[in-house]
Amino acid sequence: MVFMPRPIEAVIHTEALAHNLRQARAHAPDAKVWAVVKADAYGHGIARAFAGLQGADGFALLDLSEAHRVRALGWRGPILLLEGCFEARDLETCSRLNLWHTVHREAQIDWLAAHKTQAPHHVFLKMNSGMNRLGFTPAAYRSAWLRLSGLTQVEGISLMTHFSDADTDRADATSGIARQWAVFEATTRELPGERSLCNSAATLRHAPENAAVRGDWVRPGIALYGSAPDFPARSIADWGLQPAMTLRSELIATQDLQPGDTVGYGSRYTAARAMRIGVVACGYADGYPRSAPNGTPMLVDGVRCEMVGRVSMDMVTVDLTPVPAARIGSEVTLWGLGPGGAVLPIDEVAHAADTVGYELMCALALRVPTVVAD
Ligand SMILES: *Cc1c(COP(=O)(O)O)cnc(C)c1O
Q: What pLDDT is stored for residue 7 in this prediction?
A: 96
Residue 344 belongs to some domain of the structure: yes
Stretch 237-248: mean pLDDT: 98
Pocket test for ligand 1, best of 103, 217, 219, 359 (most atoms within 8 A of CB): 219
Residue 2 belongs to some domain of the structure: no
Please give all residues whose beta carbon lies within 6 A of any atom in ligand 1, as ranges: 36, 38, 82, 162, 199-200, 219-222, 229
Residue 96 has pLDDT above 90, yes or no: yes
State the distance from the centre of ligand 1 to the C-alpha of 46, rounded, in angstroms.
Answer: 16
Distance between CA atoms of residues 35 and 24, nearest Å = 10
Nearest atom within ligand 1 for CA of residue 38 = 1
pLDDT band at 3 (very low <50, low <70, confident <90, very high): confident
Domain of 359, CATH number, reads 2.40.37.10
Mark whether 207 and 308 lie in a shared domain: no
Around Cβ 340, how many Cβ atoms within 10 Å?
A: 9
Residue-wise pLDDT for 184-193, tens only, equals 999 999 999 9
Helices 106-114, 138-149: inter-axial angle, 10-degree rounding: 0
Residue-wise pLDDT for 117-164, tens only, equals 889 999 999 999 999 999 999 999 999 999 999 999 999 999 999 999
Stretch 58-76: mean pLDDT: 98
Mark whether 185 and 306 lie in a shared domain: no
Helices 178-188, 138-149: inter-axial angle, 10-degree rounding: 40
Residue 54 has pLDDT above 80, yes or no: yes
**Percent of the chain residues topping a pLDDT of 90:** 96
**Which residues, other chains included, contact 26 with Cβ-Cβ below 8 Å and sequence gap of 6+?**
none
Distance between CA atoms of residues 6 and 337, nearest Å = 19
Mark whether 218 and 89 lie in a shared domain: yes
Residue 169 has pLDDT above 80, yes or no: no
Distance between CA atoms of residues 305 and 316, nearest Å = 13
**CA neighbor of 243 nearest in space, from 167, 332, 318, 341:** 341
Stretch 320-331: mean pLDDT: 98
CB–CB of 200/223 below 8 Å? yes
Residue-wise pLDDT for 332-366, tens only, equals 999 999 999 999 999 999 999 999 999 999 999 99
Q: Which residue, by CA, sits nearest to atom 4 of ligand 1?
A: 221
Mark whether 164 and 259 lie in a shared domain: no
Residue 47 belongs to some domain of the structure: yes
Residue 232 belongs to some domain of the structure: no
For residue 264, the 8-state DSSP code is S
Residue 207 has pLDDT above 70, yes or no: yes
Q: What pLDDT is stored for residue 161 in this prediction?
A: 98
Residue 9 belongs to some domain of the structure: no
Residue 160 belongs to some domain of the structure: yes
Residue 108 belongs to some domain of the structure: yes
* Number of domains within the chain: 2
**Which residues, other chains included, contact 47 with Cβ-Cβ below 8 Å and sequence gap of 6+?**
69, 73
Domain of 79, CATH number, reads 3.20.20.10
Q: What pLDDT is stored for residue 9 in this prediction?
A: 97
pLDDT band at 174 (very low <50, low <70, confident <90, very high): low
Q: Which residues are catalytic?
A: 38, 265
Mark whether 213 and 102 lie in a shared domain: yes
Mark whether 250 and 310 lie in a shared domain: yes
- Residue-number span of the structural domain to which 171 is assigned: 14-227
Mark whether 167 and 262 lie in a shared domain: no
Pocket test for ligand 1, best of 63, 199, 206, 358 (most atoms within 8 A of CB): 199
Distance between CA atoms of residues 236 and 229, nearest Å = 9
CB–CB of 165/177 below 8 Å? yes
**Which residues, other chains included, contact 75 with Cβ-Cβ below 8 Å and sequence gap of 6+?**
50, 54, 59
Q: What pLDDT is stored for residue 4 in this prediction?
A: 73
Mark whether 204 and 91 lie in a shared domain: yes
Q: Which residue, by CA, sits nearest to atom 1 of ligand 1?
A: 221
Last residue in a domain, options 227, 255, 280 = 227
CB–CB of 298/320 below 8 Å? no
Helix (H) or strand (E) holding 297, with range, is strand 297-300
Residue 173 has pLDDT above 60, yes or no: no
Mark whether 46 and 193 lie in a shared domain: yes
Cα–Cα separations (whole angstroms), residue 222 to 37, 111, 172, 203, 342: 9, 32, 25, 11, 21
Mark whether 184 and 268 lie in a shared domain: no
Residue 73 has pLDDT above 90, yes or no: yes
Nearest atom within ligand 1 for CA of residue 126 = 13
Mark whether 54 and 149 lie in a shared domain: yes
Mark whether 271 and 357 lie in a shared domain: yes
State the distance from the centre of ligand 1 to the C-alpha of 222, rounded, in angstroms.
Answer: 8
Distance between CA atoms of residues 101 and 121, nearest Å = 8
Stretch 65-91: mean pLDDT: 98
Residue 95 belongs to some domain of the structure: yes
State the distance from the centre of ligand 1 to the C-alpha of 112, rounded, in angstroms.
Answer: 25
Q: What pLDDT is stored for residue 171 in this prediction?
A: 55
Residue 247 has pLDDT above 70, yes or no: yes
Helix (H) or strand (E) holding 263, with range, is strand 262-263
**CA neighbor of 270 nearest in space, from 319, 214, 223:** 319
CA 16 to chain centre: 14
Average pLDDT taken over every residue of the chain: 96
Distance between CA atoms of residues 215 and 203, nearest Å = 10
